[in-house]
Protein backbone atom coordinates (compact mmCIF):
# COMPACT_ATOMS: atom_id res chain seq x y z
CA UNK A 1 0.00 0.00 0.00
CA UNK A 2 2.83 2.37 0.83
CA UNK A 3 4.40 1.83 -2.61
CA UNK A 4 1.06 2.56 -4.25
CA UNK A 5 0.67 5.78 -2.27
CA UNK A 6 4.18 6.91 -3.17
CA UNK A 7 4.03 6.20 -6.92
CA UNK A 8 1.59 3.90 -8.67
CA UNK A 9 4.01 3.63 -11.61
CA UNK A 10 6.53 1.70 -9.54
CA UNK A 11 4.21 -0.10 -7.13
CA UNK A 12 4.80 -3.85 -7.51
CA UNK A 13 1.14 -4.78 -7.06
CA UNK A 14 -0.11 -2.61 -9.93
CA UNK A 15 -0.47 -4.53 -13.18
CA UNK A 16 0.49 -2.97 -16.52
CA UNK A 17 -3.23 -2.82 -17.38
CA UNK A 18 -4.05 -1.00 -14.15
CA UNK A 19 -1.12 1.36 -14.69
CA UNK A 20 -2.58 2.47 -18.04
CA UNK A 21 -5.90 3.17 -16.35
CA UNK A 22 -4.25 5.07 -13.50
CA UNK A 23 -2.22 7.18 -15.94
CA UNK A 24 -5.47 8.10 -17.70
CA UNK A 25 -7.16 8.97 -14.40
CA UNK A 26 -4.15 11.04 -13.34
CA UNK A 27 -4.33 13.08 -16.56
CA UNK A 28 -8.10 13.42 -16.22
CA UNK A 29 -7.60 14.75 -12.69
CA UNK A 30 -4.76 17.13 -13.54
CA UNK A 31 -6.17 18.54 -16.80
CA UNK A 32 -8.93 16.76 -18.66
CA UNK A 33 -8.51 19.08 -21.65
CA UNK A 34 -5.21 17.35 -22.35
CA UNK A 35 -6.75 13.90 -22.78
CA UNK A 36 -5.81 12.81 -26.29
CA UNK A 37 -6.86 10.03 -28.64
CA UNK A 38 -3.61 8.33 -27.57
CA UNK A 39 -4.91 8.02 -24.01
CA UNK A 40 -7.97 6.22 -25.33
CA UNK A 41 -5.88 4.08 -27.67
CA UNK A 42 -3.74 2.94 -24.72
CA UNK A 43 -6.87 2.10 -22.72
CA UNK A 44 -8.27 0.12 -25.64
CA UNK A 45 -4.96 -1.70 -26.13
CA UNK A 46 -4.98 -2.58 -22.41
CA UNK A 47 -8.41 -4.20 -22.82
CA UNK A 48 -10.73 -1.43 -21.68
CA UNK A 49 -13.70 -1.28 -24.03
CA UNK A 50 -15.95 1.74 -24.58
CA UNK A 51 -18.14 0.93 -21.59
CA UNK A 52 -15.14 0.50 -19.29
CA UNK A 53 -13.60 3.77 -20.50
CA UNK A 54 -16.89 5.55 -19.82
CA UNK A 55 -17.12 4.02 -16.34
CA UNK A 56 -13.50 4.94 -15.52
CA UNK A 57 -14.11 8.50 -16.70
CA UNK A 58 -17.39 8.89 -14.82
CA UNK A 59 -16.08 7.45 -11.55
CA UNK A 60 -12.85 9.48 -11.58
CA UNK A 61 -14.73 12.65 -12.55
CA UNK A 62 -17.29 12.14 -9.79
CA UNK A 63 -14.56 11.70 -7.17
CA UNK A 64 -12.79 14.81 -8.46
CA UNK A 65 -16.04 16.76 -8.30
CA UNK A 66 -17.09 15.62 -4.83
CA UNK A 67 -13.62 16.25 -3.41
CA UNK A 68 -13.66 19.80 -4.75
CA UNK A 69 -17.08 20.38 -3.22
CA UNK A 70 -15.88 19.00 0.12
CA UNK A 71 -12.74 21.13 -0.02
CA UNK A 72 -14.74 24.26 -0.84
CA UNK A 73 -17.12 23.65 2.05
CA UNK A 74 -14.35 22.86 4.49
CA UNK A 75 -15.43 19.28 5.05
CA UNK A 76 -12.84 17.59 7.23
CA UNK A 77 -11.36 20.76 8.65
CA UNK A 78 -12.48 23.10 11.35
CA UNK A 79 -14.13 26.17 9.90
CA UNK A 80 -14.50 29.20 12.12
CA UNK A 81 -16.70 32.24 11.65
CA UNK A 82 -13.51 34.27 11.14
CA UNK A 83 -12.86 32.67 7.76
Whether 19 is in a domain gets the answer yes
pLDDT of amino acid 17: 97
Name the domain count of the chain: 1
- Rounded to whole angstroms, the Cα distance separating 27 from 35 reads 7
Pick from 59, 61, 20, 56: nearest CA to 38? 20
Whether 78 is in a domain gets the answer no
Q: pLDDT tens, 10-49? A: 898 999 999 999 999 999 999 999 999 999 999 999 999 9
Q: pLDDT tens, 43-54? A: 999 999 999 999
CB 8 within 8 A of CB 22: yes
Q: What is the pTM of this model?
A: 0.83
Whether 30 is in a domain gets the answer yes
Please give the helix or strand (H or E) that residue 2 lies within, else none.
Answer: helix 2-6
Q: What is the residue range of 56's domain?
A: 2-73
Where are any strands of DSSP class E within the chain? none
Whether 81 is in a domain gets the answer no
Whether 31 is in a domain gets the answer yes
Amino acid sequence: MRALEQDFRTAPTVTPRERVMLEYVEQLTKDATRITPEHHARLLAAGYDDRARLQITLIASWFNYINRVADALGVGRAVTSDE
